[in-house]
Amino acid sequence: MNAQISSATEVFELPSPLTESSGAILFNTKLITHNDSGGEAKLYELDTISGLVTRTVTISNATNVDWEDMTQDASHIYIGDFGNNSGSRTDLKIYKIRKSDYTSSTTVTAETIAFSYSGQTDFTATPNASEWDAEALVSFDATNLMVFSKNWVDGVTKAYLVPKTAGTYSLSPLATTLNSGGLISGGTYNTFSHKLYLVGYSSTLQPFVWVSENFSGTTDVFDGTNTKTVVSSFAVEQIEAIAFVDVNRYFMTSESFSFGPISVNAKLISFSTSDTLSAERVPTEASFAYPNPVDSFLYLKSEVIALIELYDLNARQLYKGTTPRIDMRSFENGVYVVKMTLKNGRIAMKKVIKK
């Protein structure tokens, strides 16, 4: 593996209810996951220390036709029911659940974001030979999700923006594509490093990770540097999902399968990266946040602030605004990340300790 991604190791085998884990997020220190096609319309909370399912939440008005990935933002969880191996589905959708509902009850209802692909005119079933399948979903910004195709024909992956508002949409691909060299099966977006992580596997089930960064446009995520890392510590694995853990750590889940004499169990896998916050994106603004450590109010120093954001290390946004003072008194002691966007588009990020 290259220096960017390292230490891919098995954490544990997934418990029996999750042998077909297909999407994952980390929320409230628990890994939340779901199974794929034909599974129940349930989310499972997995303790990443014990390996036990500690809670299940049922989505009462949803059906698991083919749930393939999930993502989150500060207020909602999104589940992609858009698996489409044969290319014949006309009911592609994303379920949107309030986090406040999820945390307060084991039965919730969801809003629906329905969509179709503007370029698809033929819905003839062609199992495992379609370009209209998708298995990766990320929360990209405040108003948009992003869906990534799983192209069975030639491995060229397209990205599609989807509004976060319930409704019905016709999607057109973004300008730049990714020649993935395999099947893309999961994704996550790191709001700290502004890097997109996509996971998948080759025709021989060799898992890999793509990292897309330094894209020039606002949303054209493949218009930049795209780096593929083969996860060589796992020779045969059907990786299905990736979840952001913190600044430089990720979880992946794999699905169990049997093929001839080969039988592989579902796993939780962890890997690390070299994405740290020790080097500021804007060196001249290295002391823009003070005092540090902070016990009451955090002050931001710049005359050209466009936006201020504060996150915890699980990438949950705790503050967003332009006022150069953040009241930290109600926050628990620990490490936070403050992100300052300047009017010229440059970004500064810094770790802040609340004591």
SS3 sequence of 223-276? CCEEEEEECCCCCCCEEEEEEEEECCEEEEEEECEEECCEEECCEEEEEEECCC
Rounded to whole angstroms, how far apart are CA atoms 311 and 198?
22
Domain membership of residue 330 as a residue range:
283-354
Rounded to whole angstroms, how far apart are CA atoms 278 and 193?
12
143 and 77 Cβ atoms separated by less than 8 Å: no
If asked whether residues 199 and 310 sit together in one domain, one would say: no
Which of residues 249, 273, 297 is at a domain's end?
273
If asked whether residues 9 and 100 sit together in one domain, one would say: yes
Cα–Cα distance list, 14 to 11, 27, 267 (Å): 9, 18, 5
User: Residue 49: inside a domain, yes or no?
Assistant: yes
User: Residue 134: inside a domain, yes or no?
Assistant: yes
If asked whether residues 264 and 287 sit together in one domain, one would say: no
The pTM assigned to this predicted structure is 0.83
| Domain count for the chain | 2
Residues across the chain: 355
Query: Which CATH number fits the domain that encloses residue 345?
Result: 2.60.40
- Residuewise pLDDT in 10s, the chain (355 residues): 344 677 899 999 999 999 999 999 999 889 999 999 888 999 999 999 999 999 999 999 999 999 999 999 889 999 999 999 999 999 999 999 999 999 999 999 999 999 999 999 999 999 999 999 999 999 998 899 999 999 999 999 999 999 999 999 999 999 999 999 999 999 999 877 789 999 999 999 999 999 999 887 678 999 999 999 999 999 899 999 999 987 788 999 999 988 777 788 999 999 999 875 543 343 334 457 889 899 999 988 766 788 888 988 877 889 988 888 899 999 989 889 888 887 766 677 788 899 8
If asked whether residues 121 and 232 sit together in one domain, one would say: yes
Q: Is 94 left (phi over 0), alpha (psi -120 to 50) or beta?
A: beta
Query: Which CATH number fits the domain that encloses residue 17?
Result: 2.115.10
If asked whether residues 236 and 341 sit together in one domain, one would say: no
User: Residue 278: inside a domain, yes or no?
Assistant: no
If asked whether residues 79 and 132 sit together in one domain, one would say: yes
If asked whether residues 289 and 346 sit together in one domain, one would say: yes
Give the list of residues 6+ apart from residue 338 with CB closer than 8 angstroms, or none: 289, 298, 300, 308, 309, 310, 311, 326, 349, 350, 352
Which of residues 238, 273, 308 is at a domain's end?
273
Rounded to whole angstroms, how far apart are CA atoms 148 and 177?
10
If asked whether residues 266 and 320 sit together in one domain, one would say: no
If asked whether residues 165 and 293 sit together in one domain, one would say: no
If asked whether residues 247 and 291 sit together in one domain, one would say: no
User: Residue 291: inside a domain, yes or no?
Assistant: yes
User: Residue 165: inside a domain, yes or no?
Assistant: yes
Query: Using CA of residue 275, residue 278, residue 279, residue 285, what is the dihedral sign?
Result: positive
